[in-house]
Amino acid sequence: MRALTGARVFDGTRILGGHAVCLDGGRVAELVPEALLPLDVPREALGGGILAPGFVDLQVNGGAGLMLAEAQGVADLRRIAAVHARLGATTILPTLISDTDEAKARAIALVSRAAAEGVPGIAGLHLEGPHLDPRKAGAHDPAHLRPMTAADLDRLRAAAAVLPRLMVTLAPEAATEDQVRALSGAGVLVALGHSACDAATAARYVGAGARVVTHLFNAMAPMGHRAPGLAGLALADGRVDAGIIADGHHVDPLMLGVALRAKAGRGALFLVSDAMALAGTEAERFALDGREVRRADGRLILSDGTLAGADLTLARAAAVMAAAGAPVETALAMATSGPARVAGIDAGHLAPGAPADLVHLADDLKLRAVWQAGERLS
């Protein structure tokens, strides 16, 4: 056993002062007041800051120069997961944005194999599309968007049986309530997104089993005082958890604060990176379905200025939320215990028996170090 000392400890819910985190192999052994730590336990002094669970990111489209759709084998998934772990996200859902049936089948098979082989950090798969509203395509190629068929439903239910976790983002315009009910019954985490639906429609789909809204405010109808839409429903309905891209570009910081206050006590508001192939690299551009995406002032954009994913880590997202008014504990929970609970993943908390996935942050939430399964990565 060894102990990490000298930092405040965020356990997934609260910040503890004067505590050490004791690790035993790849698991947390205990959290103990430093004054009670036996003298013979080896210590690593961290010199201040905050020690927190590793981040949990439910929307990772790519990294290390690759999109998930470009992954040809488990080694590529390992590369993507490893680069995000070094950025602090020790648990991820690799995310396939709308693509062909062949690409979807390949992603399902690869993630299933990676999970079976114990690739660190791979907790399941997120399929964002192709069953979305073309009017709210965003950076998705409209050529791939289409309604869900009976065959699609069967394939998704079969995928849920072989994956540790399957999240599917769909639009009410492209799937029926019965299909959502069937997916939910098969253990799929159903999210609503890329939709112009109104609040009443969204409420019906929540009643059918949808439980998440994908990147709140983005690729959905604007929230109005007489037309709250999907965004308004997400903020008001306690059955719904909502992901949000807190980079200051996708959502204005003022609206981040509004969402934070509106969602308090009404389900989770959690952070996602919406990371693309450029994550963890110094590259300035990459190709998405034959279209160039480039880095520009902290954004990723297509040639027409459309946002195409985000140039973001969860450490920076948590700092942006703190600047928007979130208490530090809330901002950290939005990147750790919140998304872990949403997806039913054993991560995002520090307690005896929990995975020894940790991040060390400066007081301003800049990333200092990462441990995954007890091994220091940076």
Catalytic residues: 274
Q: CA torsion 36→40→42→48, rounded to 10°? A: 30
DSSP element (H, E) containing 329: helix 328-333
Residues 137/157, Cβ–Cβ less than 8 Å? no
CA angle, 333 then 220 then 68, to 5°: 65
- Amino acid identity of residue 145, one-letter, is L
Asked if omega into 352 is within 30° of 0 (cis), the reply is no
Per the listing, tokens 């019965």 go with 178
Structure tokens at 129: 């599309």
SS3 content of the chain, % helix, strand, coil (to 5): 30, 30, 40
Q: How far apart are CA 323 and CA 140, in angstroms?
A: 30
Q: How far apart are CA 284 and CA 321, in angstroms?
A: 26
Residues 341/115, Cβ–Cβ less than 8 Å? no
